[in-house]
């Protein structure tokens, strides 16, 4: 549905998007992940024909964004970071305006308005001025606007930014519900969002493509070998965690043991195996044979957060923290707000 090849976008001084290529299949929900200023918005703007690429090609639903922008635009629904709404319009009027811009009219337009109002739960504010709506409603009106012409491709730029937790959940539900009919690209810097809503992840950082894979594969890939959390308890009061650590390190197939925490006479370790070795059985036996209690033994699923930090190489900095080099356009957008 979407094919991007060697896409590059350079501004006067910065390179916002640097030679990225990816493909998105029909009907998928793809998470577009990266820290602020990574080039997410720029890439989306290129896909929606708002910005032309400096080099490379982007093909949406069989049409090139530079060659046939009108055809692409007909097949794309786009929700920018700030919903593009007119505060002086009523919700219904606004949807009618957007719908007719997208080429709908008459009975079809009216039935689509009814449908998207229902779908995005904005039916109750249909006759209210958009300027008087809360942020959550405005976001949903933005979403309604994006799907009004039933586009093949939906591009959503941080659809949950600035919403409260309840609204975030509702919006995610809504997006998941839309997945069947539309191919969706959604950008975010919030990792759980990707884990919850997306099947496929594209990670970019500083304009470069870092990884593209399914959420599941990515978790496996970044981890390499197996990783297990082990909680060991001492039977007779005290437990020397260094002794336990040494014992665990002797188990066959273990590559690394990391001491996590210790409380009273219990200690938790994270044990990593060598590639493609199963160690859980041996670990359990080793603990029990040494006369300790095995309180807990579970595979440590690596969160996307860790993968993300590992892949983007941003040690210690939270993904939310803006990196030093932020493209001018995103800064400008921030200022505008």
Partner 1 sequence: MRNTLIICRKELRSYFVSPVAYLLLTMFALIFGFFFWNSLRYFVYIGMESQMRGQSFPMNLNEQIIRPLLSNISVVGLFFIPMITMRLFAEEKRTGTIELLATSPIRDIEVILGKWLAAIALYAVMLLFTAINFAFLFHYGNPDWKPMAIGYLGLLLQAGGLLAIGTFISTLTKNQIIAGAATFGVCLMLWVLEWSTGYETATWAKVLAYMSVITHFESFSKGVIDTKDAVFYVTLIFVGLFFTARSMESLRWRS
For residues 135 and 160, give the distance between their C-alpha atoms in angstroms, rounded to a whole number.
10
For residues 317 and 264, give the distance between their C-alpha atoms in angstroms, rounded to a whole number.
32
Stretch that binds partner 1, among 101-109, 172-180, 203-211, 253-261 (CB under 8 A): 101-109
Token output for 70: 């009108």
Stretch that binds partner 1, among 48-56, 201-209, 276-284, 315-323 (CB under 8 A): 48-56
Whether 24 contacts 185, CB under 8 Å = yes
By beta-carbon proximity to partner 1, the closer residue of 48 and 267 is 48
Q: Does 161 bind partner 1 (CB under 8 A)?
A: no
Binding-site string for partner 1 from residue 295 to residue 334, where x marks contact by CB under 8 A and - marks none: ----------------------------------x---x-
Whether 147 contacts 79, CB under 8 Å = no
Whether 270 contacts 257, CB under 8 Å = yes
Which helix H or strand E contains 1, and what residues bound it? none
Closest separation between CB of residue 69 and partner 1, Å?
Answer: 8
The phi, psi pair for 16, rounded to 5°, reads -80, -40
Residue from 151, 147, 150, 149 nearest 159 by CA? 147
Q: Does 97 bind partner 1 (CB under 8 A)?
A: yes
By beta-carbon proximity to partner 1, the closer residue of 52 and 299 is 52
Q: Does 62 bind partner 1 (CB under 8 A)?
A: no
Of 7, 17, 85, 244, the residue at the interface with partner 1 (CB under 8 A) is 85
Of 48, 91, 212, 267, the residue at the interface with partner 1 (CB under 8 A) is 48
Strand partners, 29: 184
By beta-carbon proximity to partner 1, the closer residue of 93 and 305 is 93
By beta-carbon proximity to partner 1, the closer residue of 86 and 261 is 86
Stretch that binds partner 1, among 31-39, 79-87, 109-117, 241-249 (CB under 8 A): 79-87
**DSSP codes joined into one string, 97-141:** HHHHHTT--HHHHHHHHHHHHHHTT-GGGTTSBGGGS-HHHHHHH
Residues engaged in binding partner 1 (CB under 8 A): 45, 48-52, 70-71, 73-74, 76, 78, 80-82, 84-89, 93, 97-98, 100-103, 145, 329, 333, 336
């Amino acid at each position: 549905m979407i094919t991007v090849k060697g896409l590059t976008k350079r501004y006067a001084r910065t390179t916002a998007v640097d030679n990225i290529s990816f493909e998105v299949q029909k009907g998928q929900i793809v998470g577009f992940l990266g820290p602020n200023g990574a080039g997410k918005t720029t890439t989306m703007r290129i896909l929606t024909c708002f910005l032309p690429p400096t080099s490379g090609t982007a093909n949406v639903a069989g049409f090139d964004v530079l060659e046939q922008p009108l055809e692409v635009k007909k097949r794309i629904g786009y929700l920018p970071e700030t919903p593009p709404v007119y505060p002086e319009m009523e919700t219904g009027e606004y949807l009618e305006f957007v719908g007719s811009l997208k080429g709908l009219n008459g009975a079809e337009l009216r039935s689509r308005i009814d449908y998207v109002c229902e779908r995005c739960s904005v039916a109750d504010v249909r006759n209210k001025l958009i300027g008087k709506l809360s942020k959550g409603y405005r976001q949903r009106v933005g979403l309604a606007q994006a799907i009004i012409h039933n586009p093949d491709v939906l591009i959503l730029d941080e659809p949950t930014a600035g919403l409260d937790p309840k609204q975030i959940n509702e919006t995610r539900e809504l997006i998941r519900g839309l997945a069947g009919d539309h191919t969706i690209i959604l950008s975010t810097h919030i990792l759980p969002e990707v884990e919850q809503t997306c099947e496929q992840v594209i990670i970019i950082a500083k304009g470069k493509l870092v990884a593209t894979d399914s959420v599941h594969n990515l978790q496996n890939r970044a981890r390499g070998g197996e990783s297990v959390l082990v909680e060991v308890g001492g039977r007779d009061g005290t437990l020397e965690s260094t002794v336990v650590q040494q014992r665990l390190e002797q188990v066959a197939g273990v590559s690394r043991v990391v001491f996590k925490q210790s409380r009273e006479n219990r200690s938790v370790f994270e044990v990593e195996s060598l590639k493609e070795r199963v160690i859980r059985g041996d670990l359990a036996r080793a603990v029990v044979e040494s006369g300790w209690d095995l309180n807990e033994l579970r595979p440590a699923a690596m969160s996307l957060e860790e993968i993300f930090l590992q892949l983007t190489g941003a040690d210690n900095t939270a993904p939310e923290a803006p990196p030093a080099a932020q493209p001018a356009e995103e800064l400008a957008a921030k200022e505008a707000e």
